A and B are shown apart, each in its own frame.
Chain A
Amino acid sequence: MSPSDGDPRPPDRFGFDLPEEEWLARVRDSVGPVSSLGRIGEYEVLEEISRGGQGVVFRARQPRTGRIIALKRLLAGSFATARGRQRFEREMEITARLQHPGIVTLHGMEIIDGQPTLAMEWIDGVHVDRWASGEGGARRSSAEILRLTAAIARAVHHAHQRGVLHRDLKPANVLVDGEGRPHVLDFGVAKLLEEDEALTRTEEFMGSPAYAPPEQLRDGARAVDVRGDVYSLGVILYVLLAGRLPYDKELRVAERLAAIERRPPPAASSLAPGIDPEIDTILGKALAADPELRYPSVDAFAADLERHLDGRPILAHPPSTWYHVRKMVRRNRPLAALAGLAVALLIGFAAHAKLSALRLERERNRAVTVVEFLRRGVFGAMDPYRTGRRADLQQILDAASARLEARRPEEGDVRAELLEMLGLAKHRLGDLAGAREDLERADRALADDADPVRRARVSVALASVLTDQSEYAAAERRLHRAEETLRPRGAETAGLLVEVLTARAAIDLTLERLDDAARRVDEIDALVRRTDGEEAPFLLRTQLQRALLLSKRGLHAEAVAELEDLLPRCVRQLGDESAMVASVVRRLGLVLFRLGRLDESGARLEEALERRRRLFGDRHPDTAQVLVDLAATRVPVLREDGADAMLKAAIEVFQESGAGEQETVAEAYGLLAEQLTRRGEFDEAEALMRKALDLLRGRLGPEHPAVADVLTNLGGVHSMRGDHDDARRFFEEATTIRLHALGPVHLDVAHGLNGLALNAKFAGDFDAAERHYGEALEVLRAVDDPSWTILVVLNNLASLKEKRGDRAGARDVYQESLDLAREKEIGVDVVDCATAARGVARTSLELQDHARAEPIFRELVATPESNAGREWLLGYDLAGLGVSLSARGEYAEALNVLDRAVTEIESLGDRAPAYLLRETLTVRRMIDDHLTGKGAPAANEDPDAN
C-alpha cells in the first residue's frame, strides 16, 4: 500500500514526522488508558502539566510530606541497567545540590517502572514567553524583560559555578511566578538524555535546535561550554523582545547552522518598537556564531544587561572594525586620533576610486592592510574578552609598535601610515617620548618621492609633540617647512595649513611673541571662515588663542569675557566632554586668578582637573598641568593645602611621559621652592630654583620672561637668607629681562620691582625700598587692569612706612589698599585684603582712632578664614577688638572679647607668638586697673610685617 498524492495528511501536531521512537511513544501514550494518572511510585498524581520530547510532567503530591511537587518522567530507555541507574543518580545528585531561588529545586529522583522520574519543586507560574507577552495583563516592557533575563542569567550562573551546564535553555524551561521571579527548570537533564545510549540517534538533534548554539548543532552537546548557555539565553531574550526567533523556526539543523554562520539575525530593534539599539549590541555579543566572541559567562551577560538598565556603558560591541572604531572614539577619547586617521584612510580610498584599476587595487590593499592591523593589532588586543583583562591602552600601542617593527609591511607608505597612527594615539595618551619615536620613524619610512602633503602631515604631528616637549626650535623648523609646502597648494590643503598656523601661533604665545601670534590667529580665522564657514569648530580654537593673547597682554577682564562667551559655544558644538571645553575651563580658572577672583578660579581649575581626568586619565601631562595650575593659584595666596602633593604628583607624571623638560615642570619646581622658602628651607629651595632656571633657559632662551620669574624667586630666597647683594643682582636681572620682553607697563615688571624693594628693606636700605615700591606702584597703576598684585605692593609699602614710624602715612597706604580691594570686590577673606584691613585697624589704634579700628577688627574676627594658616591671627584680631572697645569705654564687652582672645591664644601654645599673650594679658589687666582708676591700653605690634 503506497500513499497517493491525493491522500489527506494529518495535521502536524500529530507528529507523523517525528522519529520512529517518538512517534511510537506518542501512539502508546494516546492509546493507553488514562488511568495512568493515579499513582507514580509513592506520588499521587493530580494532573498532567505538559508533555514533550523529553517526557511528561505531572502535578503530584507526595503523601509522606503532603508536599505538592512537579513530577517529571523522562522518556529514556537505558536506565534499567545498574550502570544506567548509577549514571542517572550521579547526574541528578549534582543537580540536586543546586540551591538558588532562581533554580527549581530537585527534591528527589528515582527510577519508577523503568522510567527515570524527577520530583521537583512545584512552581505555580507560566513559561517566560507567555509572561513576556503579558499573560493576564499588558505586554511586558523591554526593561522588565531585560531585568528578568538578567535574573535568569544570574540563576544559571549559580549552576555554572557548581559545574552544571543547562544545555537546553528555552522558554519552556523557565517559569515566571506570580511575583515575576524566574525559575529555571531541568538542569542536567539535557546531558543525561544526550548520553542515553538507548536514544542514540544519527541524524536527529536532541533538545531544541532553535535555542541551541551553533557549536552544539555542529559537534553535539560535548562541544558546548558555558558560552553555549550564553547563546541560548541570548535567543530567549531575543524572542521575548522581538516576539520571534532570530532564525526561521522551520530550518533543519544543517540549514540553521549555515544561516547562523552566514550572518547575524536581524536587529531585534528593527522587529519591535521600544528596543534600544544598545540591546542589539548585547544580543549580538550573546548570539555571536563564534563562542570566542560571546560573553565569556552568563554572569558577564547579566552584568551588561544591568549596566544597560542602569544607564552605564555596556561592554559589548560587535566585532566589526568600524563599530569598534566608533565605540572607541566615544568611550576612549585618546583614541580619537587613531580612529580619525583610519577613517581618513578609507575616505582617501574612496576619493581615489576614480583612478586606474591598478592604482585602485593598490589603494584597496593599503586600506585592507591598515584595517587589518587596526583590528588585530589594536582593537583586537583591547577586547577584554579576548585578552582576559582590559589591557592598558599604552601597552597595546607599544605591542602594536613592536609588531609593526617585526612585520615590516612591504610598502613603506603603509608602514608610515601605521606608524603615524600609533604616534598620534600615543601623543593623545600623553606618551610624548613614544609618540616622537613613532612619528620620526614614520617620517623616515616615507619614500623620497612620497607625496609632499603626506610628509607635511607627519611633520605637523611631529611638531605638535615637539612643542609639548618644549622643543620649540625644532618644532618651528618642521612647521616652517610644512607651511612652505602647503601655502602654494591653496584650498585642497587648507585644513592642514590651518593646523600648521595654529601650532605656530601656540609657540608664538608661549615665547611671548604676541604680535606674531595675533597676526597668525587672524590669518587662521580668515582661512577657516573661507573654507568652513562661521560655525567651523576650528574657530573655537582660535578664539581660545585670542583669549590667551588678551590675558598675556594683561587684559584679563576682556579675556574672561571672551572665554565666557566661548565656553557655551564649545559645549554646543563639540559636546560637554570635549578636550576643548576642559581647556577653556582651565584658561578661565587661570585668568580669574589673575583678577583676584580666587574662589571662582579655584572652582574652575578643579573642574578642569576633573574634566581632564575623565578625558585623559590621571597619568597624563595635560591632567598634571592642571595640578600645577592649582598649586600655582594656591601657593602665592597662602592657600597651600595639598599644593606640595599636587606638585610632586605632577612632576612625576611629566617625567614619566617624556615631558620632563617642559616649562610646566619648571613652574612646578618653582612653586615647590616657594613653599620650601616659606618654611625656611632655603638651600633645598635654591637647588630646585636653579634646576628650573637651567631648564627654562635651555627651552625658552635666557631672555624669556619665565626665566625672569625664577630669577625673582631666587632673589627672594637670597634676600631672606641675608645675601642682599646676590639678591639684588637677581632682582635686577629679572627686571631687565622683563622690561625688555614685556615693556615697562606689565604686571611682572612690578613683581620684580617689588622684589627689589623687599630686598632693600631687608638690607636696611629703607629709602631704596620706598623708591622701588613707588616704581612698582607706578607700573601697576599704568597697567590697564591690575590684579591684586597692587595690594601686595601697597601693603608692603605701608608696612615699611609703619616700621619707619610714619603711622599716618602707613595708614593712608593701607587704606588705599583696602579701598582698592573693596572696589574690586576682593573680600576680607583674601589674605592681601585682610592684611590691608588689619593695617588700617592697627594704625588707627595707634593714632587713637578707635572708632575706625573697631569695626574692622570686628569684621576680621568674623572672617577667620582670612588668616591663611596663621591661626593665631584670630587671637590678635580679638585682642585688637578688645583694645578698641575698651578705649571707647565699652569695658564689659571688651573684657569678654579679651577673655576669648586669651583662651584662643593659650590653646595654641607655642604656635602663637609669645608677645601676643603677654600683651593681651597686659591690656586686660590695664582695663581692670582702669576700672579701678589706673592707665590706658597699649598698642600692638604689626603681625603682618614681612
Chain B
Amino acid sequence: MSPDPTRPSLLLRVRDSADHDAWREFDATYRDLVLGYCRRRGLQPADAEDVLQVVLISLSRAMRRWEYRRERGRFRAYLGCVVRNAVNRHQARGRPADVQLETSVRAVLSDPTGPRADELWEREWVRHHYRRAMETIRETFSERSVRVFERLLEGARVARVAIEFETTETAIHQVKRRIKQRMGALIAEQVAAEEPGDVSLRR
C-alpha cells in the first residue's frame, strides 16, 4: 500500500482556516492524540474536549504563519508545544490557590521544556500512530488474522492461541510476524506523511 497521496497536502490545506474539510480531516486525524494526551495529563473528558478546541483555534491562527521546513519532527514538536501549553493554561485556571501553586511549581519543573510532559507527548504520539496503523490493519487484514493478533495482544500464549484457532504454532507466529511487519511499514508511512517534505525523500 502506498502512502495516501492526499496526506502531504492535508497540512498545507489546513493553513487555510476557511477550508472546513481540511479541518475536519485534521480533527479526525489528531483528535485522539490530543485527547489521549490530555487524559494522561489528568484532565477529565469534558476538559480534554475544551483543550482540543483551544488547540484547534490556536493552530488555525498559527497555521497562517506556519511555514514548512524540511526538518523531521517539526510538526510533531510544534503540535506538542501547543497542546502542552493549552493543558497547562487549563490546569492553572480556576483552581484553588494551593492547587494552582502546585501546578505552577510543576509547570516550572515540566514546562515548556519539561521532561515529563515532553515525554508524555512523545509516548502519546507513538500510541496515536499505533492506533491508526491498527485501524488500517483491521480494515485490510482478514478477520481471522486480526482476531489471532488480538488474542496475542491480550496476553495469550502462542500455544494456547494455536489450539483455539485449531492451527499450528508456526502459523500463529507467521500471522504475528506479518502484522508486525505491516504495522511497521504503515507507521513509517504515517510518520513520513506528517512531514510533507519527507515523503519524496523516503521513496
Contacts and interface: CB of A to CB of B under 8 A. Distances in A.
Which label, helix, strand, loop or mixed, suits the secondary structure of the B interface?
A: helix
A11 B191 contact: yes
Contacts of A26: 126, 130
Given A23-B180, A34-B35, A37-B40, A50 B116 contact: yes
**By CB atoms of chain B within 10 A, which of A27, A37, A124 has the most?**
A27
A49 B116 contact: yes
B109 A1 contact: no
Given A13-B122, A47-B40, 16 more contacts: A7-B184, A7-B188, A9-B184, A10-B191, A14-B184, A27-B130, A27-B153, A27-B183, A28-B155, A30-B127, A30-B128, A34-B35, A46-B42, A47-B41, A50-B116, A178-B109
A29 B191 CA distance: 19
8 contacts: A8-B189, A10-B191, A23-B180, A24-B155, A29-B127, A47-B41, A50-B119, A178-B105
Contact of B131 (A1, A13, A30, A46): A30
A104 B153 CA distance: 33
A16 B180 contact: yes
A10 B188 contact: yes
A130 interface: yes
A28 B42 contact: no
A777 interface: no
A126 interface: yes
Interface string B106-141: 101100000110011011001111110010000000
Nearest to A47: B42
Interface of B: 35-36, 39-42, 102, 105-106, 108-109, 115-116, 119-120, 122-123, 126-131, 134, 152-155, 176, 178, 180-185, 187-189, 191-192, 202
A59 B181 contact: no
B123 A51 contact: yes
A884 to B, nearest CB: 85
A136 B126 CA distance: 27
Nearest to B202: A8
Contacts of B189: 8
A705 to B, nearest CB: 82
A14 B130 CA distance: 8
A191 interface: no
Contacts of B105: 124, 178
A77 interface: yes
A31 interface: yes
A778 interface: no
Nearest to A129: B115
B182 A1 contact: yes
A564 interface: no
A35 B32 CA distance: 12
Contacts of A27: 130, 134, 153, 183
Contacts of B134: 27, 30-31
Contacts of A31: 130-131, 134, 153
A276 interface: no
Contact of A135 (B35, B109, B129, B202): B109
Contacts of A35: 39
B182 A37 contact: no
Nearest to B132: A30
Interface in A111-126: 124-126
Closest 7 pairs between A and B when the two form their complex, measured CB to CB = A30-B130, A47-B42, A8-B188, A30-B127, A10-B187, A48-B40, A28-B153
A77 B40 contact: no
Nearest to B122: A13
A854 B167 CA distance: 128
A125 to B, nearest CB: 8
A805 interface: no
Interface string A20-58: 100110111111001101000000001111110000000
Contacts of A10: 129, 184-185, 187-188, 191
A127 interface: yes
Nearest to A46: B42
Interface of A: 1, 3, 7-11, 13-16, 20, 23-24, 26-31, 34-35, 37, 46-51, 59, 77, 124-127, 130, 135-136, 178
Contacts of A15: 126
A50 B123 CA distance: 9
Contacts of B41: 47
A18 to B, nearest CB: 11
Contacts of A14: 126, 129-130, 184, 187
Contacts of B115: 126-127, 130, 135
A658 B118 CA distance: 74
Contacts of A1: 178, 181-182
Contacts of B187: 10, 14
B84 to A, nearest CB: 13
A178 B184 CA distance: 41
**By CB atoms of chain A within 10 A, which of B106, B109, B129 has the most?**
B109
B109 A136 contact: yes
B62 to A, nearest CB: 25
A24 B122 CA distance: 19
A540 B187 CA distance: 80
Contacts of A46: 42
Nearest to B187: A10
B157 to A, nearest CB: 10
A136 B105 CA distance: 11
A59 B42 contact: yes
Nearest to B128: A30
B38 to A, nearest CB: 9
Contacts of A124: 102, 105-106, 109
Contacts of A49: 116
Nearest to A2: B181
Contacts of A30: 126-128, 130-131, 134
B139 to A, nearest CB: 14
B141 to A, nearest CB: 11
A24 B109 contact: no
Nearest to B108: A136
Contacts of B40: 34, 37, 47-48
A135 B152 CA distance: 41
A904 to B, nearest CB: 74
A88 B131 CA distance: 33
B116 A28 contact: no
A24 B180 CA distance: 9
B97 to A, nearest CB: 17
Nearest to A15: B126
A319 B13 CA distance: 66
A34 B126 contact: no
**By CB atoms of chain A within 10 A, which of B126, B181, B182 has the most?**
B126
A663 to B, nearest CB: 75
Contacts of B39: 34-35, 37
Contacts of B126: 13-15, 26, 30
A46 B39 CA distance: 9
A37 B48 CA distance: 13
A26 B153 CA distance: 9
Nearest to B116: A49
B36 A24 contact: no
A337 B32 CA distance: 77
Contact of B120 (A3, A8, A11, A48): A48
Contacts of A7: 184-185, 188
B8 to A, nearest CB: 14
Contacts of A127: 115
B192 A8 contact: yes
A914 B200 CA distance: 121
A1 B36 CA distance: 33
B33 to A, nearest CB: 11
A937 B45 CA distance: 115
B18 to A, nearest CB: 32
B11 to A, nearest CB: 19
A127 B120 CA distance: 15
B161 to A, nearest CB: 12
**By CB atoms of chain A within 10 A, which of B35, B102, B191 has the most?**
B191
Contacts of A136: 108-109
